[in-house]
Amino acid sequence: MAKGKATIEYLKGPVMFARVFEWNLDEGEYAPEGGQYRLDIGLGKDDVKTVLSWNKRYGAKEYKEEWSDGVVEDMAYYGFKRPHEGKIKKLGGPPAVVDAEGKPWDEDVAIGNGSVCTLKLNVYKGTAGGKPYTSVILMGVRVDEHVPFVMDDDDEEGSDDSVDHDSADDDNIPF
């Protein structure tokens, strides 16, 4: 039986490839059965240290040049995800997505690369079979600065709608 403790952690930075709604669920070959919600977030050195304190083997992403629009230099990008159907009900399904004021995000407005978001993460450190492990699940996304989604020729669906969102205080994260 697994034993451990969950904490809630927050990370803020520019995001890439936000697939956090049912209509853009990641069902690719690396997704679990039923699909997953995911995004990558750019982090500075201090936040990278935090992420590596959760799991030292957690590697940063490298993007092909054609995928680099929106990437901020001198940042390391890490991916966080959440299953569509979790083994534990509250850890599955779409994450909460809100605007900078904490109001529910219009799901028809995609989150474009380079949008600045604050992620709410469930970090569970435990042991199973005498071995330590860490599980990090995406719980919520606050869109602090929205960049409109621009559909590439390869994209099947999307929205280029833009909503003006002002930044909120980092200490007042309602999700």
Query: What's residue 119's pLDDT?
Result: 98
Question: What distance, in Å, lies between the first and last C-alpha atoms of the chain?
Answer: 30
Asked, for residue 120, whether it belongs to a domain, the answer is yes
Asked, for residue 156, whether it belongs to a domain, the answer is no
Asked, for residue 166, whether it belongs to a domain, the answer is no
Alpha-carbon span 106 to 104, nearest angstrom: 7
Indicate the pTM of the whole model.
Answer: 0.80
Lookup result for tokens 């099947």: 156
Asked, for residue 168, whether it belongs to a domain, the answer is no
Asked, for residue 162, whether it belongs to a domain, the answer is no
Number of domains into which the chain is organized: 1
CATH number of the domain bearing residue 67: 2.40.50.140
Beta-carbon contacts of residue 81 (< 8 Å; ≥ 6 apart): 26, 36, 37, 38, 39, 137, 138
pLDDT in tens, 5-47: 999 999 999 999 999 999 999 998 888 889 999 999 999 999 9
Query: What's residue 70's pLDDT?
Result: 62
Query: What's residue 63's pLDDT?
Result: 65
Query: What's residue 103's pLDDT?
Result: 97
Q: Which domain holds residue 92?
A: 3-145
Indicate the SS3 state at residue 148.
Answer: strand
Q: Write the DSSP string, 71-139.
A: PPTT-EEEEEEEESS-SSGGGSSPPEEEETTSPBP-TTS-B-TT-EEEEEEEEEEEEETTEEEEEEEEE
- pLDDT tens track, the chain, 175 positions: 567 899 999 999 999 999 999 999 999 888 888 999 999 999 999 999 999 999 887 777 776 665 566 667 788 899 999 999 978 888 899 999 999 999 999 999 999 999 999 999 999 999 988 888 899 999 999 999 999 998 765 555 443 343 333 444 445 555 6
Q: How far is CA 82 from the centre of its chain?
A: 8
Asked, for residue 171, whether it belongs to a domain, the answer is no
Asked, for residue 54, whether it belongs to a domain, the answer is yes
Query: What's residue 154's pLDDT?
Result: 56
Asked, for residue 165, whether it belongs to a domain, the answer is no
